[in-house]
Amino acid sequence: MKIKPRIGLISCSGEGLSEGMISREATRRILEQRDDVVTICLPLFLAGGQEEKDFAKNNPCITIDGCDKICAAKGVKIYGKVHPKSSIIISKIAEKQKSPRPTSKSKIKPEDEKLVQETMKIINKEIDRVKEEE
């Protein structure tokens, strides 16, 4: 019996930007809601062993980045030698939604909730799409 790999969600978690807080929060909420997804701490790609380096090879990945430096997407490419199946960027979602920039790097404020919800909606949609393809 072939076991289907779970979808890997990789968030940038960017400490330097408030958008990193949104990517982290939205990703974490999805992880707590679904059992067909799995994550890895992005810095573990470098700090971990072969198992961590192979994460992106063994699991189709969706990356969730705060800004257009797209660390998570690049990390998958550098360490996994594969492209993410989908790349979500919070700053682009905010721009499209005409949302104000989140102001806190450490807490989700009530006014940021709309952006978190929209990001979760997009992540869920992408998970279902990637699952269809696999």
**Residue 33 vs residues 13, 26, 38, 40, 89: alpha-carbon distances, Å:** 19, 11, 11, 17, 21
The footprint of other proteins on residues 40-79 (CB under 8 A) is 40-48, 69, 71-72, 74-75, 78
- Tell me how far, at minimum, the Cβ of 91 lies from other proteins, in Å: 13
- Tell me how far, at minimum, the Cβ of 104 lies from other proteins, in Å: 9
Site map (CB under 8 A) of other proteins, residues 4-43, x = contact: -------xxxxxxx--x---xx-xxx-xx------xxxxx
Site map (CB under 8 A) of other proteins, residues 92-111, x = contact: -------------xx-----
**Residue 23 vs residues 42, 66, 67, 123: alpha-carbon distances, Å:** 13, 6, 10, 10
**Cβ atoms within 10 Å, residue 2:** 4
Q: Name which of 62 and 132 has its Cβ closer to other proteins.
A: 62
- Tell me how far, at minimum, the Cβ of 107 lies from other proteins, in Å: 9
Instruction: DSSP for 59-117, please give it.
Output: S-EEEEESSTT-HHHHHHHHHHSS--SEEEEHHHHHHHHTPPPP--SS---GGGHHHHH
- Residue ranges in contact with other proteins by CB under 8 A: 11-17, 20, 24-25, 27-29, 31-32, 39-48, 69, 71-72, 74-75, 78, 105-106
